[in-house]
A and B are shown apart, each in its own frame.
Chain A
Amino acid sequence: MSLLADTWTAFTENEGWERLSQHVRLSLVALLLAVTIGVLLGIACSKGGPFGSFAIAATGLIGRTVPTFAAMALVIAFTSIGFWPAVVGLTALGIPSVLLNVATGIRGADAAAVEAARGMGLTPTQVLGRVELPLALPLAFAGLRSAAVMIVSTTALAGAVGAGGLGVTIIAGLSNNQTDVLLAGAIPVTLLAVVAEGIVLAAQLLTTPKRLRRARRQAQLLGRSQ
């Protein structure tokens, strides 16, 4: 238990609250930007025909193979150290998972439902807003969740290369070989990631209509895949 007490002391002595709030600010701004850009690009890609398919495939490839740490290092090396360069890098890293999931969700929207909506005389914009996007919502939330966790996690790395946040505390603990300082950075970052994931999950539950949820659960119980 004394290690926990030491960790708490190390947290407060290392500007814990300030770094935590900086971490949250960095992550939040980047996540909001990434979601906005990712959703717009995802819609564009899903409607973009063969070029859109190419863009989706390319984004998937880049998103999965470029190490987040390397990407942050590159952005900072080519710009400067600070809040906004870090936001740029984090946003860029968050975009692919949102984009991919939104695009996949829209393309995977039930063709019969889309057809029916068109037959009812809805304009393409109305079809998108009232049918395709709502149907893409579960996947979009999956994308949002992985983007949120990834951004919180990568913000720690951004701290390691000078952008502030809890990564600074972790690196201080690492380089001075102080376990309490190490944990004073690592524990809050982990909690932050878990909380971020929880918030997105809760938002997903709240935005899924009750009947739809019940229908999905029944489908699952019956062993049908969604």
Chain B
Amino acid sequence: MAEAIDWDWIGRHGDDIAAATLAHLELVGAGVGLAVAVAVPVALAVRNRPIGATVASGTATVLYTIPSLALFAFLIPVFGIGKTPAILGLAVYALGVLIRNTVTGLRGVPAPVLEAARGMGLSRRQVLYRVELPLAVPAILTGIRLATIETVAIATIAVFVAGGGLGELILTNGIERNLFVTPIVAGTVIAVCMALTLDLLLVGVQRIVTPWSRRIATRPDEAHG
């Protein structure tokens, strides 16, 4: 595989590669950020309502089932092409993982703990900020980690709606130029490295933010891929 790579091309297109990488990071950041901004309030709203929680998780699961290319296609008639549909599409996917994890985390707060907090005279708001949210943070951060890794991968498809990113290397420079292997490999390697780096960073954040949970690493969703 090494001799199939045209190192010269990489040298000559350093700027393009850097630009695509930055654009990719932007897509991932905006997509996951938007998803977090939606998922956390939704999860908070449904945390004490079993039916609401089921509906929210169910909707997230259904959205998650829509094939990525089709999802982007559905957004085009409404939002046109460019970064907007790309970011929205990525956010919808990230929502799937985030809502499930956040709801699980919030609903997983042990009832005796809540009772004790109320018994100590904490108001509802205080219980939320001092007990429920801190206890749900590990699950929420795990959700953000899984969503980020996944969004890095799915963002390679944004190129189909002219959203830019590493997909540009893979599709525009690679596939559409007679299956030119070099940019395809470059795009793949950068995407994998980006996912690993972001994952490590988020693990670091998780450790700093939740020093108490270092021993009880909870990873609810891992086994389901």
A-to-B contact residues, CB < 8 Å: 60-61, 63-71, 73-74, 76-78, 81, 96-97, 100-101, 104, 139, 142-143, 146, 149, 152-154, 156-157, 160-161, 167, 170-171, 173-174, 179, 182-183, 185-187, 189-190, 193-194, 197
Contact = CB atoms under 8 A, between A and B. Distances in A.
A146 B225 contact: yes
Interface in B146-202: 149-150, 152-154, 156-157, 160-161, 166-167, 170-171, 174-175, 179-181, 184-185, 187-188, 191-192, 195-196, 199
B104 to A, nearest CB: 11
Contacts of A174: 73, 76, 160-161
Nearest to A99: B225
Interface residues of B, number: 45
B185 A146 contact: no
Interface string B18-55: 00000000000000000000000000000000000000
B216 to A, nearest CB: 15
Interface of B: 1, 4, 62, 65-71, 73-74, 76-77, 149-150, 152-154, 156-157, 160-161, 166-167, 170-171, 174-175, 179-181, 184-185, 187-188, 191-192, 195-196, 199, 222-225
B149 A161 contact: no
Contacts of A197: 65
B225 A161 contact: no
Given A70-B170, A77-B181, A156 B77 contact: no
B interface majority secondary structure:
helix
Contact of B149 (A65, A100, A170): A65
A101 B76 contact: no
B68 A153 contact: yes
B181 to A, nearest CB: 5
Contact of A139 (B70, B161, B195, B223): B223
A156 B68 CA distance: 9
A79 B125 CA distance: 59
Nearest to A146: B225
Contact of B167 (A69, A171, A185): A69
A226 B44 CA distance: 25
A171 B184 CA distance: 19
Contacts of B222: 60
The 7 closest A-B pairs by CB, nearest first: A153-B67, A97-B225, A67-B153, A186-B70, A186-B73, A70-B188, A65-B195
Contact of A170 (B4, B73, B195, B224): B73
Contact of B67 (A81, A143, A189): A189
Nearest to A59: B225
B192 A193 contact: no
A157 B196 CA distance: 23
B2 to A, nearest CB: 13
Contacts of A152: 67
Contacts of B192: 65-67
A185 B73 contact: yes
B160 A171 contact: yes
A137 B70 CA distance: 31
A160 to B, nearest CB: 7
Contact of B181 (A78, A81, A167): A78
B179 A77 contact: yes
Given A157-B69, A173-B73, A67 B191 contact: yes
Given A77-B179, A97-B225, A142-B223, 7 more contacts: A67-B192, A73-B171, A78-B1, A78-B4, A96-B225, A146-B224, A174-B76
Given A182-B76, A186-B69, A77 B184 contact: yes
B223 A153 contact: no
B154 A161 contact: no
Contacts of B196: 61, 65
B153 A66 contact: yes
Nearest to B154: A67
Nearest to A152: B67
A146 B225 CA distance: 7
A149 B69 contact: no
Given A142-B224, A170-B69, A186-B69, A70 B191 contact: yes
